[in-house]
């Protein structure tokens, strides 16, 4: 019910207004009456009022002055002014002073009902928007959190060659604790499963589950969450271990399980990965948590699988082997890839099932990274990626895994071949996609030419021919467009935004921004606020 206060110096007018409308049916309730503006203001201080209906001419304080005061002191209250025909223009001119609507005396019941319904509809729409806005603020993380999560996913799945640039980016994204080469880290993979036979509940509670995980992570220093689109219904925790606290990761896993059961009534299957050291080993830690999870039993019962093993128990794929496999794909040399994959995964002497699974996953991540790099995540490739992952999790079919990895590589190589012979269009599309994902990193034509195995001079010329601007201008434009987006998030400081778009110095960022948009970042943000 919306609350109404009637103000008129004539008691008969007030009684008449009460009788003109079936207030309850229209979802309104009259909570008070006043005989002048001053009296109405006193009542507004002690009563919850949504709509004020006031006469234009009253002693002590008239309706227009009352409307001005209400606009200043009670901005959420809607004011309807009743006036005679002679005051019509004056009242209409006062609409900007807080008057929401006006009615000519004598007030016709249908006109009053029409105005009340109009106000109710506006209020309901505003409340809906406020609720939606609050929900979005709760469910959607800040821009900084989003970029942080995206970068964590890149660290554990993509190929990166320059640790010094990774360390700089970690600083920019406020991951100071991860820049320490001695940082001890463990991953936790958490999957939600339905517990009452209703498969739709998992989908319905996916966002609340993500928010719950984020809230838990906030309360544990050095703990971060991220989501990998490759694995449905899962959230992954990166947990820095305090060596002074024993079993902190297991305790965190159990806490997540208890909270999800208590607040969402869902079951959880949790895999705890290997303890790893420094950001260079994050991929190993992530793969190990996935492999731990893959050992879970089918069904909806909650489980925690601690698959922690020592590094001595596994023989890891070397960076040189990964580089040879990548080069085979980039050079569209299918036979070289096949030969190398059989060498590293096809041998059985002293190779454990666990070691094979680690290496197969690393090859799978490598191929997935190349597919994303060339923007070729087609249905065929996504399906093959998932089938490969399933076979690895089964841990019982070495030859099947190798064949599926070879088939996936063949699909990617064929796409790379097409890209190479597309007169530059597809290679430029791939470069643009790569820039959109890594625009904040230290990128140059030289580094891009190395990443895409193409001559830098040819890439520069082709890029300009296809896009209509040179590479450096395109990158600056891209960073500035991203900066505009980030500036809308008022929680971010200017230095945060500078870091998010690849500038370590906020002063230089502001200089480039002003040159680009003819105003500073602060001026742009203020202009947005003034419009709102």
Pick from 76, 80, 58: nearest CA to 67: 80
CATH number among 1.10.10.60, 3.30.470.10, 3.40.190.10, 3.30.565.10, domain 425-531: 1.10.10.60
Quick one: pLDDT at residue 451?
Answer: 82
In this prediction, residue 133 carries a pLDDT of 62
Count CB-CB contacts under 10 A for residue 177.
Answer: 13
- What was the pLDDT predicted at 45? 92
Q: Which CATH architecture has domain 2-139?
A: 3-Layer(aba) Sandwich (3.40)
| Per-residue buried b or exposed e for 36-56, using 16+ beta carbons within 10 Å of the residue's own CB | bbebbbebbeeeebbbbbbbb
* 315 Cα distance to chain centroid: 36
pLDDT, position 140: 45
Please state the pTM of the whole predicted model.
0.65
Architecture of domain 143-312: 2-Layer Sandwich (3.30)
Q: Between the CA of residue 277 and those of 10, 106, 126, 249, 451, what are the distances in Å?
A: 81, 81, 51, 15, 27
410-423 as b/e: b if 16+ CB within 10 A:
ebbbebbeebbeee
Burial 181-195 (b: 16+ CB within 10 A, else e): eebbbbbbbbbbbbb
Domains in the chain: boundaries: 2-139, 143-312, 319-416, 425-531
Looking up tokens 């830690």 gives 285
* CA-atom Rg of the chain in angstroms: 32
Q: For residue 335, what pLDDT is reported?
A: 95
The DSSP-derived string for 110-127 is HHHHHHHHHHHHHHHHHH
Residue 235, helix vs strand vs coil: strand
The pair of three-digit structure tokens given for residue 335, joined into one six-digit string: 């036979």
Tell me whether domains 2-139 and 143-312 share a fold: no
32/85 Cα distance (integer angstroms): 27
Tens place of pLDDT for every residue, the chain, 532 residues? 899 999 999 999 999 999 999 999 999 999 999 999 999 999 999 999 999 999 888 889 988 889 889 988 998 899 998 887 666 666 666 555 667 788 888 888 999 999 999 998 888 888 777 766 655 555 445 678 888 999 999 999 887 667 888 888 898 888 999 998 889 999 999 999 987 667 788 888 998 999 899 999 999 999 999 999 888 899 999 999 987 777 789 999 999 999 999 988 899 999 999 999 988 889 989 999 998 998 888 888 899 998 765 555 555 677 788 889 988 998 889 999 999 998 888 765 556 777 888 888 889 999 988 888 887 777 778 888 888 888 888 766 788 889 999 999 999 999 888 887 777 788 888 899 889 888 988 888 888 888 888 888 988 999 999 999 999 999 999 999 999 988 988 778 899 899 999 898 889 999 999 999 999 999 998 887 665 5
C-beta pairs of 379-383 under 8 Å, 24+ apart in sequence:
380/411, 381/408, 381/411, 381/412
- Sort strands 2-7 and 51-55 into parallel, antiparallel or unpaired: parallel
Structure tokens at 258: 């208890």
Check: CB of residue 100 under 8 Å from CB of residue 79. Answer: yes
């Amino acid at each position: 019910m919306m609350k109404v206060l009637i103000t008129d110096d004539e008691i008969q007018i007030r009684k008449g207004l009460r009788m003109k409308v079936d207030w309850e049916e229209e979802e309104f309730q009259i909570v008070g009456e006043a005989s002048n503006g001053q009296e109405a203001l006193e009542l507004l201080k002690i009563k919850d009022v949504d709509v004020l209906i006031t006469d234009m001419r009253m002693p002590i304080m008239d309706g227009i002055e009352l409307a001005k005061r209400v606009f200043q002191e009670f901005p959420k209250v809607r004011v309807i002014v009743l006036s005679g025909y002679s005051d019509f223009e004056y009242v209409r001119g006062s609409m900007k002073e807080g008057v929401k609507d006006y009615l000519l005396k004598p007030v016709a019941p249908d006109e009053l009902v029409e105005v009340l319904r109009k106000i109710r509809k506006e209020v309901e729409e505003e409340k809906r928007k406020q609720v939606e806005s609050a929900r979005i603020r709760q469910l959607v993380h800040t821009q900084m959190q989003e970029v942080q999560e995206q970068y964590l996913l890149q660290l554990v799945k993509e190929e990166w060659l320059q640790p010094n640039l990774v360390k700089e980016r970690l600083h920019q994204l406020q991951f100071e604790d991860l820049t320490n080469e001695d940082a001890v880290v463990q991953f936790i993979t958490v999957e939600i499963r339905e517990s009452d036979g209703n498969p739709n509940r998992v989908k319905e509670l996916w966002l609340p589950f993500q928010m719950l995980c984020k809230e838990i992570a906030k309360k544990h220093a050095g703990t971060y969450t991220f989501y990998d689109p490759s694995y449905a219904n899962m959230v992954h925790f990166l947990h820095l271990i305090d060596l002074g606290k024993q079993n902190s990761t297991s305790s965190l896993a159990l806490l997540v399980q208890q909270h999800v059961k208590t607040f969402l009534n869902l079951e959880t299957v949790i895999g705890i990965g290997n303890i790893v050291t420094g950001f260079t080993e994050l991929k190993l830690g992530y793969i190990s948590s996935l492999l731990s999870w893959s050992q879970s039993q089918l069904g909806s019962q909650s489980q925690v699988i601690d698959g922690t093993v020592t590094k001595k128990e596994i023989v890891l794929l070397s960076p040189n082997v990964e580089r040879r496999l990548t080069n085979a794909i980039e050079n569209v040399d299918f036979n070289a890839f096949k030969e190398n994959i059989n060498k590293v995964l096809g041998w059985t002497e002293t190779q454990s099932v666990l070691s094979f699974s680690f290496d197969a996953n690393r090859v799978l991540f490598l191929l997935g990274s190349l597919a994303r790099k060339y923007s070729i995540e087609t249905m065929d490739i996504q399906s093959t990626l998932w089938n490969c992952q399933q076979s690895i999790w089964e841990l019982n079919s070495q030859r099947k895994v190798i064949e599926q990895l070879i088939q996936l590589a063949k699909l990617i190589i064929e796409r790379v071949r097409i890209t190479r012979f597309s007169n530059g269009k597809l290679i430029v599309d791939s470069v643009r996609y790569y820039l959109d994902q890594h625009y904040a990193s230290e990128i140059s034509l030289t580094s891009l030419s190395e990443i895409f195995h193409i001559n830098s001079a040819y890439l520069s010329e082709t890029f300009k021919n296809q896009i209509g601007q040179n590479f450096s201008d395109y990158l600056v434009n891209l960073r500035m467009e991203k900066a505009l987006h980030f500036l809308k998030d008022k929680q971010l400081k200017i230095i945060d935004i500078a870091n998010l778009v690849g500038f370590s110095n906020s002063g230089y960022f502001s200089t480039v921004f002003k040159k680009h948009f003819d105003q500073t970042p602060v001026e742009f943000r203020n202009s947005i606020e003034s419009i709102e």
